[in-house]
Structures are given as C-alpha cells and as structure tokens.
C-alpha cells in the first residue's frame, strides 16, 4: 500500500468545496444518461448526456398562494407550476414530475405524497413556521429535505397575539358587532386592564419571546414555560422561566406559542383547565391542536376560563356550527398570525431562497430534518465536511465486500471544548461517504442516519482533546472500520481493521494516513 504523506484528496468538488446534500449531480428527468467506454485500453469511460429536448431546469410545484417576490425568485432558477387547491389525489399525481414542493398550512404532505414522488422530490418548503402538516418521518426516509421560513413572520405573529390579547380584554369584537346591530351596551362590555396582570407565555421561542417583550411594554408581569429555553435569554428581557403547572395556575392571561407535537397535543385539557386560576383568559396563535376544544367550551361555561381569543383551530376552517366559535366570550380570527403585507413578502422570499439553495445542493440553514448548524459554523466547517465525506468513501473502498461493514469508529481531534464542536453534520457526511459507494440508495444529509440504522451499521464517535489554541475547529478526523476483510490483505482475521485519517490545510482537505491491520500484521502509511 503506497500513499504519499499529506496527499490532497482531489475530486472536482474540492476546487470549490461546498456543503452538498449529495455528490450526485442534479439532472432533470428530461435528460437521459448513458456511459460508453472508449476502445483504447486504460482510457477512462466517456460520460454521454443526451438531452430529450427539454431544458434542464428543475420543476417546483407551488401548491398554495405565495407572494410575487418569491415566485419571481423561483422562476429565475426553475420551472414553476402554481397549482392551488389540489386534492390529495391530484397532488400525488403531480408530485412525480416535481423536484420541489412549496406549501403553507393548508396542504397535507403525507407519506403517500413522498411515495408517489418515486424519489424525485428532493425538497419540501413550508412557507411559515409550523411543519405539522408535513410527514417528517416519511420525508427523512425518502431523503427529502424539509425547510421552513421561521423568521419572516415572527413579528407579525407576535403582533397578532398582542392584538388578540388587547381585543379580548376590552371586548372589542363583541362590542363592534353589538354597535353594528344597532345596540349601545356600554355596561355589558366592561373590560379588564392589562397593567399589573400576569401573562404566562407557553413556548418561549422566537414568537413567544417577541410577545413577552411587547407584554412587558404594556406593564404586564411575564412568566414563561419552555423546557428548552435558555434561562439567560429569559432573564435578559425580564422574564422568569417556571414549571408548566406554576405557569397555568398563577397566570391571569395565557398565551400559547408551542409547536404541535405528540407531547403538546391537547395539552390544555380538562385536567389542566382545572388547575387554572378562575377567570383566566387564553390566547392561541400557535396551533389549534394544543387545546382540547371540547374541554375549553366546558371551561368557558363553568367560568374557569373567562374569555378566549383564537386564531387557530384543530380543523381549519372550523365547522360553521362549532360551539367554540359561536361562544359569546370567544374572539376568533381565520389564522391571520402571519397575514401582513410585510410578513407575506418576507416569507415568500425566505422560503424561495431556502428551496432554491437546497436544489443547488446547499444545506439550508432552515432545514428541519437535517443537522442544524448556524451559518457561521457552516462556513467554518465547510472543508471539514468535504474531508469527512471523502474519508468515508475512501475507507469503504478499501474493504473487500463492502456489505460486511457493520462497525465504524470516528475520532475527532480538537483543541476546542466538546460543547463547542457539534459533530452531527460531520457524522452525517461520513455516513454518506460510507454507504453510497456500496449501495444503490441515494444518501444525503437528511436520511444518512436512518439509512445507516436500516443497514445495521453502528457508528460510534470519540473526541480527543488537544492542548493549544482552538483557532481551527479540528486538527484531524479519523475513520476506522473494524472486523472487515481488506481489499489488499492476503489473510483475513476477525479483528481486521482499516483506518484512514485526514486534515485540512489552508482550506484544502488532505489525506494524511492509511492503515490496514489484519491477521496480526499491519500496513501503515503516514
């Protein structure tokens, strides 16, 4: 085995390293690809790409209304099909011809949609924050990236929450309807003041934080519950993080900003309404499913909940005869949280940029089913991401019979503290490099872990802490495959190991070590 020290891992992609979802190039279905070998022995095969007469642009299906600015951005890159109000059957029929799909909250992207795409669908973009209408498990299994637009409508949603809070407290909607019907009932619509009252913000993410800031400006005492929120961020704006029970039992007003998950579905139910202060008022601009609507009606009738202001419902639109919607002490709006001119334009641009970037092979910062890494960290890790994938590809190609790969050990050497190095992205790229050369499966950052688990490949990680200045994130990455037969071994043993190691120098990945160990012997080149 002869390998020169610090040999550059040279592939075309390394001239301009990028965070690619896959090294496989994007080709429209309008193209056919064939490989023809030259007659001269030893020459490389000739790759012939034959066009079927259509252009090579990807196709993006926009299934719900999107702002013009976003549509124009999409059209600069792709063929855009704006087809609204599709039935589930129509969506499944269309999706096999599309590379990306953009939806809002009204379209259900089910497992059947991913199965109907036959592997062509690469990106689903949710124009908004919540992704409960997208089957994330099915998306991941089919290697489809899901991105959302979490920032553009943050302020709009927070403002609508505050608007409902104030309108509810002062009976604005009910008084308006009364006056328009010819009545003048000043005594009936006496409200309550917000100053000095306790507001419990349930879910202290982006929207919850902005609601808390505005409520503080109104003179309210704000507490919050969120098991994942950092205490220092809450303290910085004068908010106290408390337990769930303490939040709902001490609050005068409750504002919901939590995602809809199995653990939050109907989290406000009969049991929890019973724990609340009598006369509590509830605002929901998050997801309808977090409230048990029948239980809320009972709590309203019993006087436990004095009023509710709801922008979202379990079923949208709700039934016309809904007791909750028709309740006199309930203020309702038709899911208007993100409905401002500014937010709609911002969401359209944000989701269009995310979808186009993903189709170009870039890792979207708003991906919800891939390793989440801040943009500044992505930039710093870029050459190490390329190194990780190439090490995985090299290691598995040194194995005789790649299907026997079951145990992988990855070692990272760094002078940084463990908390300062998130290796999920690197592990995903190593997994991709290991699996793609020995499989027909299309592996990307989204389904890398799922695919490895499905094939019984166990990947363990180890970190070596080095002394010195942590200027660069890593000193080296090492990939070791255990209990395999080497392609270059003349003897086999159960403890056969293959080790490859690499470093990044001046932004370029280099191979620095290859070691083969079998039958008590070893071959190592450093």
Helix (H, G, I), strand (E, B) or coil at 177: helix
User: Is 335 marked active-site?
Assistant: yes
- Angle, in degrees to the nearest 10, between helices 375-397 and 424-435: 30
- Give the DSSP H/E element, type plus range, for residue 459: strand 458-465
How much of the chain is in helix, strand and coil states, percent to nearest 5? 35, 25, 45
Give the residue among 327, 270, 263 at the shortest CA–CA distance from 289: 263
- Locate 280 and state its tokens: 């509590």
Q: How many CB atoms lie within 10 A of CB 119?
A: 13
Q: How does DSSP classify residue 437?
A: G
User: Is 287 marked active-site?
Assistant: yes
The residue from 287, 427, 503, 510 that is catalytic is: 287
User: Is 240 marked active-site?
Assistant: no
- Locate 132 and state its tokens: 């409960």
What is the spatial distance between Cα 315 and Cα 35, in angstroms, rounded to a whole number?
Answer: 52
Beta-strand pair 497-505/508-518: antiparallel
Asked whether the beta carbons of 370 and 427 are under 8 A apart, the reply is no
Asked whether the beta carbons of 482 and 457 are under 8 A apart, the reply is no
The residue from 221, 257, 281, 335 that is catalytic is: 335
- The 10 Å CB-count burial string (b at 16+, else e) for 515-525 is bbbbeeeeeee
Helix (H, G, I), strand (E, B) or coil at 198: strand
Give the residue among 71, 68, 106 at the shortest CA–CA distance from 86: 106
Angle at 345 between CA 282 and CA 229, to 5 degrees: 45
Classify 119 in phi/psi space as left (phi over 0), alpha (psi -120 to 50) or beta: left
Burial level of 100, CB count in 10 A (0-12/13-18/19+)?
A: buried
Looking at the chain, how many residues does it have?
Answer: 526
The residue from 316, 342, 462, 521 that is catalytic is: 316
H helix runs in 330-417, sequence order: 341-359, 375-397
Asked whether the beta carbons of 383 and 15 are under 8 A apart, the reply is no
CA 436, 441, 445, 446: dihedral to nearest 10 degrees? -170
State the residue for tokens 């401002």.
Answer: 340
**Which residues pair with residue 148 across a beta bridge?**
126
Q: How does DSSP classify residue 231?
A: H
Active site members:
287, 316, 335
């Amino acid at each position: 085995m002869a390998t020169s020290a610090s040999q550059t891992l040279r592939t075309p992609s390394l001239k301009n390293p990028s965070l690619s979802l896959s090294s496989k190039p994007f080709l429209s279905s309008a193209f056919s690809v064939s490989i023809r070998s030259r007659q001269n022995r030893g020459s490389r095969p000739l790759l012939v790409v034959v066009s079927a007469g259509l252009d090579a642009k990807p196709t993006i299906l926009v299934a719900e209304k999107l702002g013009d600015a976003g549509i124009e951005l999409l059209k600069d890159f792709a063929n855009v099909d704006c087809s609204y109000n599709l039935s589930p059957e129509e969506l499944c029929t269309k999706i096999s011809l599309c590379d990306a799909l953009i939806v809002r909250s009204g379209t259900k992207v089910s497992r059947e949609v991913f199965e109907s795409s036959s592997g062509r669908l690469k990106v689903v973009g949710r124009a908004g924050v919540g992704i409960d209408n997208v089957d994330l498990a099915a998306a991941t299994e089919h290697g489809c990236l899901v991105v959302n637009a979490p920032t553009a409508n943050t302020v709009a949603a927070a403002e609508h929450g505050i608007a409902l809070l104030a309108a509810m407290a002062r009976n604005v909607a009910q008084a308006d309807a009364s006056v328009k019907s010819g009545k003048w009932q000043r005594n009936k619509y006496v409200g309550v003041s917000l100053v000095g009252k306790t507001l419990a913000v349930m879910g202290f993410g982006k929207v919850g934080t902005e609601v808390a800031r505005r409520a503080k400006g109104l003179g309210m005492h704000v507490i919050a519950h969120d098991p994942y929120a950092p205490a220092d961020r809450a303290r910085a704006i004068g908010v106290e993080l408390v337990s769930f029970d303490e939040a709902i039992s001490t609050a005068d007003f409750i504002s919901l900003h939590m995602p809809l998950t199995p653990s939050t579905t109907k989290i406000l139910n009969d049991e929890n309404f019973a724990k609340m202060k009598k006369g509590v008022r509830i605002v929901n601009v998050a997801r309808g499913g977090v409230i048990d609507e029948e239980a809320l009606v009972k709590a309203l009738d019993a006087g436990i909940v004095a009023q509710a202001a709801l922008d979202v419902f379990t079923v949208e639109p709700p039934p016309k005869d809904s007791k909750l919607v028709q309740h006199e002490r309930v203020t309702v709006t038709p899911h208007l949280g993100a409905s401002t001119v500014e937010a709609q334009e911002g969401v359209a641009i944000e989701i269009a940029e995310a979808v186009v970037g993903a189709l170009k092979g870039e890792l979207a910062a708003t991906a919800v089913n891939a390793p989440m890494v801040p943009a500044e960290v992505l930039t710093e890790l870029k050459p190490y991401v390329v190194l990780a994938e190439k090490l995985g590809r090299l290691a598995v190609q040194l194995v005789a019979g790649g299907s026997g790969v079951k145990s992988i050990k990855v070692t990272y050497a760094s002078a940084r503290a463990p908390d300062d190095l998130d290796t999920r992205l690197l592990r995903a790229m190593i997994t991709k490099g290991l699996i793609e050369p020995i499989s027909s499966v299309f592996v990307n950052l989204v389904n890398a872990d799922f695919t490895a688990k499905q094939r019984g490949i166990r990947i363990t990680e180890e970190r070596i802490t080095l002394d010195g200045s942590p200027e660069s994130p890593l000193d080296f990455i090492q990939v070791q495959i255990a209990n395999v037969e080497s392609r270059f071994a003349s003897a086999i043993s159960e403890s056969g190991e293959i080790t490859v190691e690499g470093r990044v120098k001046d932004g370029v990945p280099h191979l620095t070590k290859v070691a083969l160990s079998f039958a008590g012997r070893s071959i190592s080149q450093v």
